[in-house]
Chains A and B, each alone.
Chain A
Amino acid sequence: MTDRLHLRLAPETDSVTTLLDALEAYTDAQALPISAASRLMLLADELAANVIMHAHGATFLAAELSREAETLRFTLTDDGPEYDPLRRGAANTQGSVEEREIGGLGVHFVEQLATTAEYRRADGHNILSITLDAGAE
């Protein structure tokens, strides 16, 4: 059983299925609690979808996942135009059905579910790295 996952994907919507299938297999193999697995998949899904929607011109999307003790580290890299998904405003989570906007939830989830989140631009790549608690029940 490996504790490191590396995937290189095409920046298209179908890749999200490949990514989530791989993460599901990983979290099953690691016997992660369902909540930790769900949080990881949710953030990976949203952040990958962000890249696919916004990184026009990207030729690849790479996902890396590793575990050190009780910390999961998930990193997404793409070669699209500079885009920091963490700089978008947080969503309205208090309003009525009519007031809610379709979108903007991604940053809110990162803030609520990730332990740390960091974006950097290096060598023409967007690199987004988050850490999560592997023991979250």
Chain B
Amino acid sequence: MQITQSQAGALQVATLEGRLDTATAGAAEAQLMALLAPPGLVLDLTNVRYVSPAGLRTLLKLAKEARTKSASFSLVGLQPAVREVFEISGFDKIIPAFGTLAEATA
């Protein structure tokens, strides 16, 4: 799992590449938690082809932490298989997901 950090306006953007799975979720969580601060964090998942339940738990922890810190937290570029996992887990109802970075930062 590669994580590249950038900025879009005032928001932090983390671009993830690889699998967000049981083996990689812990390290990714530590890196992403450190980036999570107001006004908010956007995760670009365009190059993530697979998110496991462990990865979903990481995203849920980030969403909870964002609430605590009054920061926004959103996702962009969900691939179809990742989107399916989101819909089945009901995460599509609690974590905003956008098609493009421009939409997420609008």
Contact = CB atoms under 8 A, between A and B. Distances in A.
B3 to A, nearest CB: 17
Given A42-B50, A105-B56, A94 B23 contact: no
Given A16-B22, A45-B22, A113-B88, A105 B53 contact: yes
A41 B19 CA distance: 11
Contact of A97 (B21, B23, B60): B60
Interface string A23-39: 00000000000110111
B53 A42 contact: yes
Contacts of A96: 94
Contact of B89 (A49, A93, A102): A93
Interface stretch (B6-14, B37-45, B78-86): B78-86
B105 interface: no
Interface string B65-106: 001000000000000111011001110011100000000000
Interface in A82-137: 91, 93-94, 96-98, 100, 102-103, 105-106, 108-109, 112-113
B64 A16 contact: no
B67 A98 contact: yes
Nearest to B85: A42
A16 B21 contact: yes
A17 interface: yes
A42 B57 CA distance: 13
A41 B90 contact: no
Contacts of A103: 57
A61 interface: no
A48 interface: yes
B52 interface: yes
A17 B57 CA distance: 18
Interface of A: 13-14, 16-17, 20, 34-35, 37-39, 41-42, 45-46, 48-49, 52, 91, 93-94, 96-98, 100, 102-103, 105-106, 108-109, 112-113
